[in-house]
Homo-oligomer: A and B are copies of this chain.
Amino acid sequence: MADSSSDVQRTVFVFDCRLKCGDDSERSERTVRVGGLDFADFLRAISQEFSIGDKEMFVLMTTDRKEITAERFAELKDGSTLHLLQSIDQVLPMATKERILFLPHYDTLIKSGMYEYYASEGQKSIPYALAELIDNSLSATASNTGVRTIEIRLLFDESQGKPTVVVLDNGCGMTSKQLNNWAVYRLSKFTRENNTFRSDHADYVRPCPVPRSLNSDISYFGVGGKQAVFFIGQSVRMITRPAGSLDIHELVLSKEEFERKEKNKEDIYCGFIRNRQPGDSSHITNEDERFLHSVIHEELTKEHFTAVVITGIQTEHIAYLRNDFYLWTRELAHVYHYYIHGTHGNNKKSPHKDSDMTKINIKVCLMEKSKSPRMLNLRDVADDMQTLYINSAADSFEFRVHVDGDGVVEGLIRYHPFLYDRETYPEDPYAHVPNVPEDDEEDCIVSTEGRGKRPIFECYWNGRLIPYTTISEFDWCAWPKKSTPLPAECFSRISGVLFANDCFQVSTNKLTFMDLELQLKDKEAIFTRVVNGQEQRVKIQKEFLQWLKDCHEKWDKQVKFMGFQGTTVRTDV
């Protein structure tokens, strides 16, 4: 870890293991300087330090029993431990304590996302990496008084610089201490001190319950931002202005820089935050980054913000972000559906005004060479799955689940009726069906049977979708085992959503719940029906079946040929 200027300071720890006596390791240890010495000097220093007589035989070895020769002597690292022995095969008379360092390798940061957002057998993971950055921006804008704006800019116009992804928000920003903490892998809000001084310390406060758990409190593990940026690219520049501050704070982490530090044996986890005036881009001298000048110029109009600027984007990600723009924006609109549209979701027939929710704009902008920019507000996505479910539903059944402790899940089941000649249960044209071979056309007529084999419930956590966890059904809403007066098809005309609060745990990549299903299927879980916001302790199954029956009678409109009357030959047409 020592740089060459301090080479003269280089020392090693030498244990005198020639002793016959027992547990004496503390007393027999000496620190000996090696920097600036040649091998002969060093041997002389050793002889003197340990009072070794002229005729006495001794050998110096590493703790791995490699004998120190002139060649190896030159390579000795600062702080290493050596054993002074009578001969190379002398046993250790007592234990020695060797000081070691075991700093996590920098791959901890730069490879953290690599195997986390893995393609998971066909699923594209870029939207879920971007979601980590949107999560952070949602947390940061949670106490905004005005509009909350989150922008994803894809700067892929190579004439303006190397391809870059910028995620920008008008949230509270970070103080330089918070920016420093951002870079600390695994430092979470539960373990963090965000202030330089203990006297200013403010502990984490759990958010109050809000409908659908839309509390914007989606920062948990202290890994999301790092995993996401290094999954997308190789370098990140965090630029931020905390609310109420005159200064901008800026921090760059990059794979290249880590490699350089390793090569030069510099401290891996040492870096610099740049503190500067808003709008000052004089440090951006690299042509590849010239688009940054305009990003930095925008600072002048912003009282607080954070910009995450990712460069060194993997080429396959560029291709995907460009070519599958429609797909991944639709998936993001799905993930943040209730943040964007409010607790009632995107109901096109009766747009709900959520007075208590500040508006959240999540905008995407794709810039390509000699093309006009492609802009999209996720609110305008009209065919994400939640939008389809909501707008094809004729009725809904609300419930709530209380599990051990403070765990609360709000639930909603929607009825998608049969109308005249077809099921209205929405199809997902982009569903991940990795296991069905492509040419298997005959299998695609799923919609005729409503839900088919799809699970009923999608699961949200603190208001955002956890995409890889679904729940097929609960026993009270499953296909009944005993015959019911209801036609079986009714059970495949329902879709559902679960909104779990922060008492439930998710995996660090926020792709799966840890044990939501286990907890909900536990005997202790209490289901109540919710009517007009009020919980009712009733037999949920009975209520559900009654509701389903009502839905069937009220909403399903089947055209049937009843009472065959004979054939009429029409000669008049």
Residues in chain A within 8 A of chain B (CB atoms): 23, 62-66, 71-72, 75, 77, 80, 83, 89, 91-109, 111, 115-116, 118-122, 175-177, 180, 183-188, 191, 196-200, 221-222, 242, 245-247, 249, 251, 267, 269-277, 280, 282-283, 434-435, 437, 439-440, 442, 455, 469, 471-475, 478, 481, 505-508, 512-518, 521
Cβ of A254 to closest chain B Cβ, rounded Å:
13
Q: Is the CB of B103 within 8 A of A269?
A: yes
Complex A-B: 27 CB contacts under 8 Å: A64-B177, A64-B196, A65-B245, A75-B197, A75-B199, A83-B275, A95-B276, A95-B280, A95-B282, A96-B274, A98-B273, A102-B183, A102-B184, A104-B108, A105-B186, A108-B108, A108-B185, A108-B186, A115-B506, A115-B507, A116-B508, A120-B514, A434-B518, A435-B471, A435-B473, A437-B474, A437-B475
User: Chain B residues with Cβ under 8 A from A200's Cβ?
Assistant: 66
Q: Is the interface of A mostly helix, strand, loop or mixed?
A: loop
User: Chain B residues with Cβ under 8 A from A106's Cβ?
Assistant: 186
A98-B273, A507-B115 are contacts. A103–B184 as well, Cβ < 8 Å?
yes
User: Chain B residues with Cβ under 8 A from A506's Cβ?
Assistant: 115
Cβ of A83 to closest chain B Cβ, rounded Å:
8
Residue of B nearest to A92 (CB): B277
Cβ of A294 to closest chain B Cβ, rounded Å:
19
The complex places the Cα of A116 from the Cα of B196 at a distance, in Å, of 33
User: Chain B residues with Cβ under 8 A from A196's Cβ?
Assistant: 62, 64, 66, 72, 75, 77, 80
Q: Is the CB of A104 within 8 A of B107?
A: no
The complex places the Cα of A508 from the Cα of B72 at a distance, in Å, of 36
Residue of B nearest to A276 (CB): B95
Cβ of A512 to closest chain B Cβ, rounded Å:
7
Q: Is the CB of A271 within 8 A of B23?
A: no
Cβ of A572 to closest chain B Cβ, rounded Å:
45
Q: Is the CB of A91 within 8 A of B183?
A: no
The complex places the Cα of A80 from the Cα of B149 at a distance, in Å, of 34
The complex places the Cα of A100 from the Cα of B196 at a distance, in Å, of 12
Q: Is the CB of A92 within 8 A of B276?
A: yes
Cβ of A128 to closest chain B Cβ, rounded Å:
14
Q: Is the CB of A71 within 8 A of B475?
A: no
